[in-house]
């Protein structure tokens, strides 16, 4: 080495030393960054698995709570009939899947002839076997049980602490209880359903996200429902937990840190061995590290682009989902509208319609009875209608096959369905229909011809006799003809004097309608007529109204889009769970795609305000209408609730912090930002809010 080379060598040495320090620093940074990333990934995986387990538990507990509430309702209905309680427990266990054991325990001496302690219990022995018996006794004093005491402390479903049930489920369980009241509102019994801890123990196979990881479940009083393994002293652990909203339980996953970072620690040791090889391979390491770093950056960028494209694809896919009830904007020769008003929480009325091969397939039906059984039969009937009409065009053949399906072995309750099914050829106006014991619809011809009941053959209802041969009929509709279909909840609507609305009043109401009256206005007019007749009397049966106006090709040419095809309406119950239907309805308006999301947000805020303030604690309906015309779309939201003007709310000061700004006001502020015009008026005892959105030409 020459002397002149010494500075170069020294400089090169310093470069190597600095490079070694930088390399070591980079190695340390990479190690701790990777450690942090692994910790975040471990938490993400744990949270994902916890959420999955939580959903699985909530799914099961919600089913059990539904069983408890259903049995409580039946027990209150038959509170003075002990023999009926056995049938009720057996019915609920058989009707609601996932229910293994149900019991109704009465206060001591409530049924003196049955002994001091009376607890009717039904348990599922197998898929086809249910064991029902009375298990209350002095040895099984259920009044000392926590689930019994919870029934008196909480006026709703409540989960107790785990215990050994040696009388009902014969294993360790947690129980959900709900009180039963007599007609005076006094608690006379408690309904109980058991959830086996063995089921919760099975969740461990879902939560083994790492080797040696384990989990536990604690009750709301921090008692162990699923016991976790003991931790090893001196060993560090990562603990992740999630609260189960439905029960108040907390589920926890415990993962040893050395398991999480095992791969990283092993890589760290290899890197350390490579570092001691010396400066001889430092250049090679720097080069290789540089190349690897570039590759890593490129790989990360590609991964981010892929994730972004997947997110966009998912949004497009969600936006392309079909709506449930399209208003047929592509068929200006047809105008249809219907509404169902159940007498209870659930009902047995149904109507459905859709277009296939330029034909309108429609039906209206009424299931015998009310409540949960009727709603289940209604769902089966609608499913059969959709399935059979997808490939059969003969109404009598469709109704015959529906009858055979509903008359099978699954109809142990001997429930039947009155149904009218029709197929309207939109090209010719020819209507083929088949009536299965349903009320004849009203036919309002165009011109000056008076309305009359449509001629219907008196076939048997569905589900009465298997193999019955149904007779179909046909009629020719002309442009402007209207069909008005309904269930017996209309004709049998009673006023306070127990008078029936009757078919005569139906015809009188229809006869007042004009030829150009749209279907939604017809349904509203009939609702107003029956409401005026009934007055304050309680609704005794489900009410379904369905109007079809066949405009025909000749009538369609003279109708402007702003009066028929550009007018849309949506009737919503006063129920927050109805809000998601707004998005589906907005998709049918044919607005520019970029406006669907902000308009949906504005309407959701407005309708939510109506449900919260116009109908506080009461039932009611909200009518949302859209009138599209060139250059703008006008939304009208109307209700019959308490007078409430949202436009009078002061705009919030968005420059203030969250802690300083008062609650409220952001919703109407958001609506003003989205819409171009907003105005309110109280008209005919109704709140009417008008929103205008201008469209770009």
Whether the predicted pLDDT of 661 surpasses 60: no
Domains 38-276 and 321-559 share a fold: no
Helices (H), 207-256: none
Q: pLDDT category, 462, cuts 50, 70, 90?
A: very high
Comparison of pLDDT for 62 and 292, the residue scoring more? 62
Q: pLDDT category, 233, cuts 50, 70, 90?
A: confident
| Cα(588)–Cα(610) distance, integer angstroms | 23
Comparison of pLDDT for 301 and 15, the residue scoring more? 301
In the prediction, which pLDDT does 293 show? 67
Q: pLDDT category, 546, cuts 50, 70, 90?
A: very high
Q: pLDDT category, 268, cuts 50, 70, 90?
A: low
Mean pLDDT throughout 424-439?
92
Residue bearing tokens 């002061």: 650
| Cα(50)–Cα(348) distance, integer angstroms | 39
| Cα(58)–Cα(69) distance, integer angstroms | 16
Q: pLDDT category, 229, cuts 50, 70, 90?
A: low
CATH of 38-276, one of 3.20.20.70, 3.30.450.20, 1.10.510.10, 3.40.50.150: 3.30.450.20
Give the residue extent of every domain in the chain. 38-276, 321-559, 566-697
Residue bearing tokens 């907003």: 678
Beta strand pairing status for 677-683 and 686-694? antiparallel
Whether the predicted pLDDT of 80 surpasses 60: yes
Mean pLDDT throughout 93-102?
76
SS3 per-residue string spanning 185-203: CCEEEEEEEEEEHHHHHHH
Lowest mean pLDDT among 123-132, 494-503, 610-619: 610-619
Mean pLDDT throughout 677-697?
87
Which span out of 177-191, 577-591, 643-657 was modeled with the highest average pLDDT?
A: 177-191
CATH code for the domain defined by 566-697: 3.30.565.10
Comparison of pLDDT for 122 and 258, the residue scoring more? 122
Residue 554 phi/psi, 5-degree rounding, is -70, -40
Beta strand pairing status for 101-106 and 621-629? unpaired
| Cα(354)–Cα(361) distance, integer angstroms | 6
Whether the predicted pLDDT of 557 surpasses 60: no
Q: Which helix (H) or strand (E) holds 349?
A: strand 349-356
Comparison of pLDDT for 437 and 199, the residue scoring more? 437
Whether the predicted pLDDT of 450 surpasses 50: yes
Mean pLDDT throughout 171-200?
85
Beta bridge partners of residue 625, listed in sequence order: 569, 636
Chain centroid to CA 451: 41
Q: pLDDT category, 205, cuts 50, 70, 90?
A: low
Comparison of pLDDT for 325 and 297, the residue scoring more? 297
| Cα(220)–Cα(250) distance, integer angstroms | 7
Whether the predicted pLDDT of 422 surpasses 90: yes
What's the DSSP call for residue 234? T
Mean pLDDT throughout 461-483?
91
Whether the predicted pLDDT of 311 surpasses 70: no
pTM recorded for the entire structure: 0.39
**First and final C-alpha spacing in the chain:** 82
CATH of 321-559, one of 3.60.40.10, 3.30.450.20, 3.40.50.720, 3.20.20.140: 3.60.40.10
Comparison of pLDDT for 151 and 371, the residue scoring more? 151
Average pLDDT, the chain: 79
In the prediction, which pLDDT does 697 show? 61
Q: pLDDT category, 558, cuts 50, 70, 90?
A: very low
Percent of the chain residues past pLDDT 90, beyond the cut: 18
Beta bridge partners of residue 192, listed in sequence order: 103, 177
């Amino acid at each position: 080495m020459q002397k002149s080379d010494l500075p170069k060598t020294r400089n090169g040495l310093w470069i190597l030393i600095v490079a070694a320090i930088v390399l070591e620093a980079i190695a340390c940074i990479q190690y701790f960054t990777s450690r942090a990333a692994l910790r975040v990934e471990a938490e993400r995986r744990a949270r994902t698995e916890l959420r999955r387990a939580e959903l699985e538990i909530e799914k099961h507990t919600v089913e059990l709570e539904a069983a408890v509430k259903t049995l409580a309702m039946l027990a209150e209905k038959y509170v003075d009939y002990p023999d009926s309680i056995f049938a009720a427990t057996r019915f609920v266990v058989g009707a609601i899947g996932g229910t293994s054991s149900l019991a109704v325990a009465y206060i001591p001496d409530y049924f003196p002839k049955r002994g001091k302690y009376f607890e009717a219990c039904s348990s599922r022995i197998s898929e086809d076997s249910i064991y029902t018996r009375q298990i209350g006794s002095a040895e099984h004093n259920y009044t000392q049980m926590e689930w019994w005491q919870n029934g008196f402390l909480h006026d709703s479903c409540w989960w107790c602490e785990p215990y050994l049930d040696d009388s009902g489920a014969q294993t360790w369980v947690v129980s959900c209880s709900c009180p039963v009241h007599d007609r005076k509102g006094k608690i006379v019994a408690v309904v109980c359903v058991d959830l086996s801890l063995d089921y919760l123990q099975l969740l461990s196979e879902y939560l083994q996200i790492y080797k040696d990881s384990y989990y536990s479940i604690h009750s709301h009083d921090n008692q162990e429902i699923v016991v976790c393994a003991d931790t090893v002293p001196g060993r560090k652990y990562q603990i992740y937990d999630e609260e189960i909203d439905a029960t108040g339980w907390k589920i926890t996953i415990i993962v040893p840190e050395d398991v999480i970072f095992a791969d990283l620690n092993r890589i760290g040791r290899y890197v350390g061995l490579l570092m001691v090889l010396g400066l001889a391979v430092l250049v090679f390491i720097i080069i290789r590290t540089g190349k690897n770093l570039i590759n890593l950056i490129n790989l990360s960028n590609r991964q981010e682009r892929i994730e972004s494209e997947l997110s966009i694809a998912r949004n497009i896919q969600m936006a392309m989902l079909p709506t449930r009830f399209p208003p047929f904007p592509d068929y200006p020769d047809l105008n249809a509208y219907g509404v169902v008003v159940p007498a209870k929480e659930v009902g047995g009325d149904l109507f459905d319609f859709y277009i296939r091969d330029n034909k309108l397939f429609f039906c209206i039906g009424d299931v015998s009875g009310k409540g949960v059984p009727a709603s289940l039969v209604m769902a089966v009937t609608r499913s059969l209608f959709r399935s059979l009409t997808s490939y059969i065009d003969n109404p009598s053949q469709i109704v015959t096959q529906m009858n055979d399906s509903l008359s099978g072995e699954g109809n142990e309750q001997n429930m039947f369905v009155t149904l009218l099914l029709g197929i309207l050829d939109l090209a010719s106006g020819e209507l083929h229909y088949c009536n299965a014991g349903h009320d004849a619809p009203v036919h309002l011809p165009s011109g000056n011809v008076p309305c009359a009941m449509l001629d219907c053959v008196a076939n048997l209802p569905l589900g009465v006799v298997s193999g019955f041969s149904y007779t179909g009929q046909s009629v020719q509709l002309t442009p402007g003809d209207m069909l008005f279909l309904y269930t017996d909840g209309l004709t049998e609507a009673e006023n306070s004097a127990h008078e029936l609305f009757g078919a005569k009043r139906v015809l009188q109401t229809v006869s007042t309608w004009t030829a150009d009256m749209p279907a939604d206005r017809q349904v509203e007019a009939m609702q107003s007529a029956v409401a005026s007749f009934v007055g304050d009397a309680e609704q005794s049966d489900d009410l379904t109204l369905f109007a079809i106006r066949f405009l025909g090709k000749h009538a369609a040419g003279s109708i402007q889009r702003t009066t028929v095809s550009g007018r849309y309406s949506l009737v919503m119950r006063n129920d927050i769970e109805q809000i998601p239907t707004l998005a589906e309805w907005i998709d049918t308006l044919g607005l520019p795609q970029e406006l669907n999301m902000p308009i949906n947000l504005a309407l959701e805020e407005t309708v939510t305000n109506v449900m919260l303030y116009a109908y506080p604690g009461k039932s009611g309906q909200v009518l949302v209408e859209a009138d599209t015309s060139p250059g703008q779309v006008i939304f009208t939201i109307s209700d019959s609730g308490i007078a409430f003007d949202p436009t009078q709310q002061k705009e919030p000061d968005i420059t203030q912090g969250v802690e300083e700004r008062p609650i409220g006001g952001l919703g109407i502020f958001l609506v003003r930002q989205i819409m171009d015009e907003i105005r309110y008026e109280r008209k005919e005892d109704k709140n009417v809010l008008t929103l205008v959105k201008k469209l770009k030409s």
